[in-house]
Structure 1
Amino acid sequence: MTSRVTLISPAMNRSLRQARFDDGTTSLDDGGTALARAAAGTLPPAARLVVSPGARCRETATALGLGAAEPLAELAGLRTGRWAGRTLDEVGGSEPEAVARWLTDPDCAPHGGESVADLCLRVGRWLDTASRTDGRTLAVVEPDVVRAVVVRVLGAPAAAFWRADVPPLTATEISGRAGRWNLRLGNPLRPEPAGG
């Protein structure tokens, strides 16, 4: 049995543009919606469709024309506690030591939310379940979730989490069996050229 998971990062929104800790309520901006709509029909068919519960992931799935998607709490982005809704610059200005610790120690959660290590464990548990599912799963998920999957698939330490950039509206694909995954990173979703 071969499992395939295609992870789609959400289209652009104000939180992504402003390097703001998203609180899950910020919608896509007009440009992000337009790009996602233009990429509709570029994804392979899938047996299952799941999404991170935040607005930008649900709206990206809709704009891509993927239909009704099941929001999964285990695929939520990194929970950033009291930093949610603030920009990285704002938090860095008021809590520089806390931000430095957070970016270097994956077990640290100075914001009162979730540590990177805990996120990686949570997403890893979901990935273990996905590995026992035959066929393709499409998952429109937060960039944090994509990073956690990359860390898990590569067997990298959680400290490598911040070393992976996840551009908006890209596909990261994994495939494998018995928990052994192969990884294909960052394929942009592009509409088919006119005329074929």
Structure 2
Amino acid sequence: MYGSTFTDLALWVFYPYNGAARAKVQFIENIKLGKIGEHVGDWEHVTLKVSNFNGQLSQHNKGTWLDASELEFNVGNKPNAYSTLHGHASYLHADLTLLEKGGVGARDDTEQSDFVFNLGAYELISAEYLGSAVIEPPWLNFKREWGPHIYYDLDIELKKVRHLLPEKLKSLIDDIEKVLPNEVLGEEGPMGPKGKNNWSGDEV
């Protein structure tokens, strides 16, 4: 799409474990959703599209293009990205993001802390346009899932949550499933970076 006018620098991070999701139901701000969202293994990424330069932050369901002036910088020219509690999607600033509809939504929480990944300490694993200059590590071509299938009954987990709510909010529990991202509802371990739709071509 962009020809050779931009270079995408995709920074991939593997998280060993994805914790359970949490939700907001109207005036109840923080509800634990039992086992919903738990899985072993989670690949997430942040992409910098360099034209000197714009960036994209990866989020569940979508990405957002940002000008360099909108990014936070901690040390030198290294931009910050905040990874959400349990979910690991990345956001521009530390805050609460609600994936919400009709007062019911999934929480994506981020905050500043001393736990920092320095992605400046990276391993270059693929650059196809450079030919044989970069040799891909064998694990990059692992075509299977990076975690086991976790079994749980979604209806049972939602019933547990429904039991904790006031009577007038119990009927809203069924709406939670509608607003949860597919990544949260999936119990499979993830495919590696090459198995993701945004691995090949321009990231748009």
Q: TM-score, normalised by structure 1?
A: 0.27
More strand by share: 2
Using CA pairs under 8 Å that are at least 6 residues apart, name the structure with larger relative contact order, 1 or 2: 1
Q: Which structure's CA Rg is the greater one?
A: 2
More helix by share: 1
